[in-house]
Amino acid sequence: MAVDKPLKLLPWYQRHLWQIVPVRDVLWIFLGAFLLWFGYQLRAIFIPLLIAFAFAYLFDPLIRWGERYCKMPRPVTISLILALVIIGGMSLLAWLGPEFLKQFAELLRGLIDYLQTLATEYDIHLLKSLRAKLEKWVQHLEENPVGFIVENTEILLIGTTQAVTVVRHILGTAVYIGTMALLIPFYFFMIAWHFGAIIRKIKDLMPAREKDQTLAIIKEMDEAVAAFFRGRLVIVLVTAGLFSLGWSPLFADVPYWLVLGISAGILNFIPYLAALGWLAAILSKGLAIGFSGDFDLWLVIIWPSFVYGVVQFIDGWLLTPWIQGRSLNLGAITVIIVVLIGGTMGGLYGLLLCIPMAACAKILFTGLILPRFYQWAEEH
């Protein structure tokens, strides 16, 4: 009875195409690129699914905690989380939503007036065109706030594709956005319910020879990505509240304090990018009071900067070390570049995937590729 030779002892011309390591690696790269391209083309369908999967991934430790310590069935825990998020989100929207839209419209009006002054003084056609577009935007916001939110939510979520255009004409924009709003909680419930089974199925499909190494790399990726996203999400919520409170009439009294505070908190998802909100706060306060004549250094610069410094101190010395823990090991500049590339190439679809892909690529490079370079350097 003939015994088959081990695969590594066979010459390359006797192996199947997928058994040649370089060819297999190239095929995996092409498969990954195709899946990304395919997902982008159907992003109207996949973005709600990605959002739901991201929430299921973020909330999975809390769901497992409820199962283990509170002895609650997994569907009950998921339902409670959904109810709390929906009720809390709607309550917050009803409380702060009207004030946010009012300040946002006022901010745009102030920007329009400033552009009008610059366009009149310097006669720049681009400024006049930008002012006219902002004027139409603000008019639409003031006349129909709900329609404004729905239309811009659609652009944010899915962009403009032919498939989306057809669906929009058939269902209508509002119905489409409403359908997506219902699908995301449904997807979240189903994915979160079967999240453990999905992970176990993926583990079962891994090759036995490389399973230990693969699981170790996946565990490292999971720890890095989870620490970053779960930590930054909490930090964004806390800092957005602190910025808004500090710039409110109770303290620094910065114009458009709610819009600028929430924007600075969201920008703080990427470390140090909240500085743009700080500069906007100084600029808006200076334009409201005036940078000449009765210019007040304390009101325009010191107080907004003091608030920014206090919040950044709380973030850097308390929130980030305590909440975030282990990070992606990606520098702030790298994260900014990755986010810009992802947003430019794929919109929200790219933003959802760019940071996890960058973190996983770095771990794969340092864990698999870089040691081979070191080995090659030692041998040669």
Q: What does the angle CA 137 – CA 276 – CA 323 come to, to the nearest 5 degrees?
A: 115
Q: Is the CB of residue 81 less than 8 Å from the CB of residue 52?
A: no
Residue 150 pLDDT: 65
The Cα–Cα gap between 204 and 217 comes to 16
The band of 207, judged by pLDDT with boundaries at 50, 70 and 90, is confident
| pTM exceeding 0.85 | no
What are the b/e assignments for 295-334, b being 16+ CB within 10 Å? eeeebbeebbeebbeebbeebeeebbeebbeebbebeeee
Least confident of 18-27, 34-43, 209-218: 18-27
* Mean residue pLDDT across the chain: 80
The single-letter code of the amino acid at 5 is K
Q: Does the pLDDT at position 373 exceed 50?
A: yes
Crossing angle of helices 43-69 and 173-193, rounded to 10°: 40
Average pLDDT on 178-182 reads 78
pLDDT grade, residue 304 (50/70/90)? very high
Among residues 195, 194, 213, 215, the alpha carbon closest in space to that of 204 is found at: 215
In the three-class reduction of DSSP (H, G, I as helix; E, B as strand; rest coil), residue 15 is classed as: coil
Question: Is residue 58 predicted with pLDDT exceeding 70?
Answer: yes
